[in-house]
């Protein structure tokens, strides 16, 4: 049959890989949006001072910086945590609240968020290449009527690809510096950064920063 001939020629492999990548990106989306991003819980207060990251950076942060209680949920905030008014929780290593995910990006789901962006970018680039390969250009209204859907799809893919590239580059840069979006945008308002002798007391070098984040 035609299906068997296509399979023998390897023509079915690429569509199967593409569909698998789309399914993986969907699963990653739900993984990031539904998982606990690192909510600070009341029963964890006693452990707040003993976290691995704090033990590493305490010598670099002024000793007069005290952990404070959140004015909303009344838990003692670990360093780098922030209260999200949309989630109604304090989040460890808070990065930002993502409206597309309807969840915070924090200590636990940030690595999955980066993998999701990479997977989404691969799917978009592949889809853009497929859409572009199906286009042939002619200066006529008849051509435009026959190709308007494909042309629109291509431009939509290009826009989303640009957004995904910019997001991925900015997050990888911040990760390589061991800082968060919140810390980068609000450096002058955060006490443990404002009073530190170093611009970024958490930076331990690109390789170690990436290792600690992903591994």
Which of 70, 73, 87, 98 is catalytic? The answer is 98
User: Whole-angstrom Cα distance, residue 150 to residue 143?
Assistant: 11
Task: Please say if 87 is a catalytic residue.
Answer: no
Q: How far is CA 71 from CA 48, 58, 80, 89, 186, in A?
A: 17, 24, 16, 11, 19
| Residue 84 · residue 97 · CB < 8 Å | yes
User: Helix 110-133 to helix 206-214 angle, to the nearest 10 degrees?
Assistant: 90
Distance between CA atoms of residues 14 and 203, nearest Å: 41
Active site residues: 98
């Amino acid at each position: 049959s035609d299906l068997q001939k296509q399979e023998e020629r390897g023509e079915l492999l690429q569509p199967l890989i593409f569909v698998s990548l789309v399914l993986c990106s969907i699963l990653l989306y739900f993984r990031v949006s539904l998982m606990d991003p690192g909510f600070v819980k009341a029963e964890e207060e006693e452990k707040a001072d003993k976290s691995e990251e704090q033990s590493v950076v305490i010598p670099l942060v002024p000793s007069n910086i005290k952990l404070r209680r959140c004015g909303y949920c009344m838990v003692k905030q670990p360093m780098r945590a922030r209260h999200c008014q949309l989630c109604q929780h304090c989040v460890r290593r808070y990065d930002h609240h993502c409206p597309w995910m309807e969840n915070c990006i924090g200590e636990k789901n940030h690595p999955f968020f980066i993998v999701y962006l990479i997977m989404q970018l691969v799917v978009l680039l592949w889809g853009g290449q497929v859409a572009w390969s199906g286009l042939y250009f002619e200066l006529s209204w008849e051509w435009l009527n026959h190709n308007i859907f494909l042309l629109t799809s291509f431009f939509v893919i290009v826009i989303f690809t640009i957004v995904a590239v910019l997001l991925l580059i900015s997050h990888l840069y911040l990760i390589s510096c061991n800082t968060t979006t919140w810390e980068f945008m609000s450096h002058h308002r955060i006490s443990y950064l404002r009073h530190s002798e170093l611009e970024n007391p958490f930076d331990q070098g690109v390789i170690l920063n990436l290792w600690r984040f992903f591994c």
